[in-house]
Amino acid sequence: KLETELNREQLLAVKHTCCPLLVLAGAGSGKTKVLTYRAFYLISQLQIKPEEIILLTFTNKAAEEMKKRVASSGELGFAGTFHTFCARMLRQYGPMIGLSANFVIYDGDDMEAAIKMAIRNLGLDLKTNKQGVFLHLISRLKNDLTPHDELEATARDDFYKRLVSIWRGYQKILADSRAVDFDDLLLNCVKLLSLPQMREKMKE
């Protein structure tokens, strides 16, 4: 049945077994379908327990679709978005990396207010230092796992030096409020899972 329902690339992804799998594809290409069929395959063909399977996606809509499709096979260990998964992990294990378990998650409006405050605290003009530009750059750097110190060491012009200062100020504002933004959820989860003791715990 799989051969008739899936194309070659989808079938390879569904039957992939040697390690965790990341599927990158455009909108409407069948990512949700691949993940759900993969779950069915692991459960029915490889006798993997549903509670040992984690399916992650970036949108709530796709996450809900996955849950509905796989519900008949049993309750999965987790099926949802990367951000929700990371938030749950950090609520439970965040103190291992110095993050309070009671952290607040800043939404877009909170992030904009924080970056504006960081710009003002440096005595910079909001009109010539657009908060949207800096939020975008900070987000990209976080997703590239680029730390402050590395950017500061390589910053050669005034703009990037200003970016480092604004970024540091922004993170301090979040830290003072025991808050994280959406990118911090992913970044801190990577940091958490990099700990040998955490990786051992995940095998239990």
pLDDT tens for the 204 residues of the chain, in order? 677 888 888 898 899 877 777 888 888 888 888 888 888 888 888 998 988 888 888 888 888 888 888 888 778 888 899 999 999 999 999 999 999 999 999 999 999 999 999 999 999 999 999 999 999 999 999 999 988 788 888 878 899 899 999 999 999 999 999 999 999 999 999 999 999 999 888 776
Q: What is the DSSP letter of 118?
A: H
pLDDT score for 20: 76
Say if residues 15 and 40 touch (Cβ distance below 8 Å): no
3-state secondary structure of 122: coil
Hunting for tokens 């499709």 — which residue is that? 69
Alpha-carbon span 137 to 131, nearest angstrom = 10
In this prediction the pTM is 0.85
CB crowding 119-149: b at 16 or more within 10 Å, else e:
beeeeeeeeebebeebbebbeebbeeeeeee
Residue 19 pLDDT: 74
